[in-house]
């Protein structure tokens, strides 16, 4: 018996039944009212996950444009002033080392700057993994600012005239250096905006590449064309590149690189807010905070170079005749061109080859030859062999590398088979 139902009141029971029917009908109406939006949200979320290069909101109706015209529009774009917020997401598929991978990426580029945590050389390299939010601003070639927002802290790199400042609020350290010429700031090692990424890839567009315009998009509230770049070659780990180009200014607003294996983007960089108005002059002002440790980068770099030169002289092994007795295979790099690499293949299948001259494959990290580091690194890779001998392949979702036991390194956006083939051709 339902609660509150009375056996001796037929009228009340009928009223109760009618009330329950009405409540059920109301619940169905509410379910329909809330269920449709939830279903739409679910579909939208799935769509965003599967196709990360789609527009942020709506596809604007813009005049038709060819791929070549859009590339020309990017090349001719001369935006001098802007400010905005950029979100960078990088997923190379590196092994989870509890944050150690970010430290390794940062540490690998250090060696100058006097060990300052504010040195931009190592700091901006951290953008190569994880998700980061940046605030950017520019006012011509002499004023730029990039701020990396962290949890409870902020790192800023400011170029103002001939001064270049790096400030890490977490450690309260400052790095200062001077640009060689006014208007020529120190170049940061890692791209920080959609334009930085787009420029690098557009340089490499050749006959091995398909370039098309794939509709329109809206990014950060601005209408944009979507330029899609795809490799014509097989064997590459790169799938497609999508660049959202501002319809009015020709400035890249979003850059997305997806791997040939599918899934989430390897690199996704886009403005969440952007303005092409002149930033306030105070944006580029910087005075070291009270109590901050200031490292003069120019002096630190000179000291670092002098130290390395001294070690080179000490370890050169020159005989009395002034000739070096150093032999290959003891850490010296040899046979390098101006870029430091020999390149095999072309286009998307290009493989860079570096002969380290160091026999024995992976570094042991131990003067006694214990091989602890080599064993650890080896556990992260796949052992391979061929005509070249033996080696280890380290794989990410985009870049793969083969380190052979005779000291050669083969690196490219290609699969493992292509690396082995290149090493066999040697």
> pLDDT tens across 180-228, in order?
644 444 444 457 788 888 888 888 788 889 999 999 999 999 999 999 9
How many Å is the Cα radius of gyration of the chain? Answer: 29
- Is-above-0.75 flag for pTM? no
Q: Which is it for strands 400-404 and 408-412: parallel, antiparallel or unpaired?
A: antiparallel
> What 3-state class would DSSP assign to 96?
coil
Given a cut of 80, is residue 67 above it in pLDDT?
yes
Q: Which two tokens stand for residue 136?
A: 């950017």
Give, as one character, the DSSP assignment of residue 121: H
Cα gap 49→263, rounded to integer Å: 8
pLDDT of residue 196: 87
Confidence of residue 393 (pLDDT cuts 50, 70, 90): very high
| Other Cβ atoms within 10 Å of 106 Cβ, number | 19
pLDDT of residue 38: 29
Given a cut of 80, is residue 110 above it in pLDDT?
no
The closest alpha carbon to 163, from 173, 171, 175, belongs to 175
Please compute the mean of the pLDDT values over residues 24-30 and round it to a whole number.
44
pLDDT of residue 375: 52
Given a cut of 80, is residue 365 above it in pLDDT?
no
Confidence of residue 106 (pLDDT cuts 50, 70, 90): very low
Indicate the helix (H) or strand (E) that contains 104: helix 100-108
pLDDT of residue 204: 75
Contact criterion met (CB below 8 Å) for 414 and 351:
yes
The closest alpha carbon to 88, from 20, 140, 135, belongs to 135
pLDDT of residue 357: 74
Given a cut of 50, is residue 7 above it in pLDDT?
no
Query: Across the chain, what does the average pLDDT equal?
Result: 75
Confidence of residue 158 (pLDDT cuts 50, 70, 90): very high
Given a cut of 80, is residue 11 above it in pLDDT?
no
The closest alpha carbon to 91, from 264, 318, 208, belongs to 264
Given a cut of 90, is residue 95 above it in pLDDT?
no
pLDDT of residue 97: 47
- Kindly list the strands in the beta sheet with 342-344, ordered across the sheet, starting from the edge strand earlier in the chain: 342-344, 351-355, 408-412, 400-404, 389-395, 382-386
Given a cut of 90, is residue 360 above it in pLDDT?
no
pLDDT of residue 389: 94
Rounded to 5 degrees, φ, ψ at 140 are 80, -175
Rounded to 5 degrees, φ, ψ at 173 are -115, 145
Residues constituting the chain: 426
Given a cut of 70, is residue 159 above it in pLDDT?
yes
| Other Cβ atoms within 10 Å of 149 Cβ, number | 14
């Amino acid at each position: 018996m339902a609660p509150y139902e009375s056996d001796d009141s037929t009228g009340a029971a009928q009223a109760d039944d009618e009330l329950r029917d009405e409540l059920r009908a109301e619940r169905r109406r509410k379910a329909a009212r809330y269920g449709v939006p939830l279903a739409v949200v679910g579909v939208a979320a799935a769509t965003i996950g599967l196709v990360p290069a789609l527009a942020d909101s709506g596809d604007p109706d813009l005049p038709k444009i060819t791929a070549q015209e859009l590339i020309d529009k990017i090349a001719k774009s001369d935006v001098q002033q802007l400010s905005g917020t950029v979100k960078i997401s990088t997923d190379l598929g590196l092994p989870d080392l509890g944050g150690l991978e970010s430290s390794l990426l940062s540490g690998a580029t250090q060696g100058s700057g006097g060990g300052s945590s504010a040195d931009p050389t190592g700091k901006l390299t951290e953008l190569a993994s994880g998700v980061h939010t940046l605030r950017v601003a520019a006012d011509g070639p002499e004023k730029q600012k990039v701020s990396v927002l962290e949890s409870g802290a902020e790192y800023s790199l400011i170029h103002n005239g001939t001064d270049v400042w790096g400030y890490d609020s977490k450690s309260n350290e400052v790095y200062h250096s001077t640009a060689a010429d006014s208007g020529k700031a120190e170049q940061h090692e890692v791209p920080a905006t959609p334009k930085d990424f787009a420029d690098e890839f557009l340089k490499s567009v050749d006959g091995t590449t398909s370039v098309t315009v794939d509709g329109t998009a809206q990014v950060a509230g601005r209408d944009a064309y979507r330029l899609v770049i795809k490799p014509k070659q097989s064997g590459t780990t790169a799938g497609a590149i999508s660049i959202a180009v501002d319809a009015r200014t020709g400035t890249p607003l979003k850059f997305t690189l997806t791997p040939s294996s599918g899934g989430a983007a390897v690199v996704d960089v886009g403005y969440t807010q952007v303005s092409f108005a002149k930033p306030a002059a105070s944006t580029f002002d910087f005075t070291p905070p009270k109590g901050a440790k200031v490292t003069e980068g120019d002096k630190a770099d000179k000291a670092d170079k002098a130290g390395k030169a001294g070690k080179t002289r000490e370890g050169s092994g020159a005989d009395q005749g002034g000739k070096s007795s150093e032999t290959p295979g003891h850490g010296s790099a040899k046979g390098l061109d101006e870029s430091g690499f020999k390149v095999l293949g072309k286009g998307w299948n290009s493989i860079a080859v570096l002969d380290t001259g160091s026999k024995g494959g992976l570094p042991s990290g131990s003067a006694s030859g214990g091989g602890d580091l080599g064993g650890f690194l080896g556990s992260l890779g796949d052992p391979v062999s061929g005509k070249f001998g033996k080696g280890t392949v380290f794989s990410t979702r985009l870049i793969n590398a083969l380190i052979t036991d005779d000291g050669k390194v083969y690196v490219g956006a290609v699969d493992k088979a292509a690396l082995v083939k290149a090493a066999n051709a040697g």
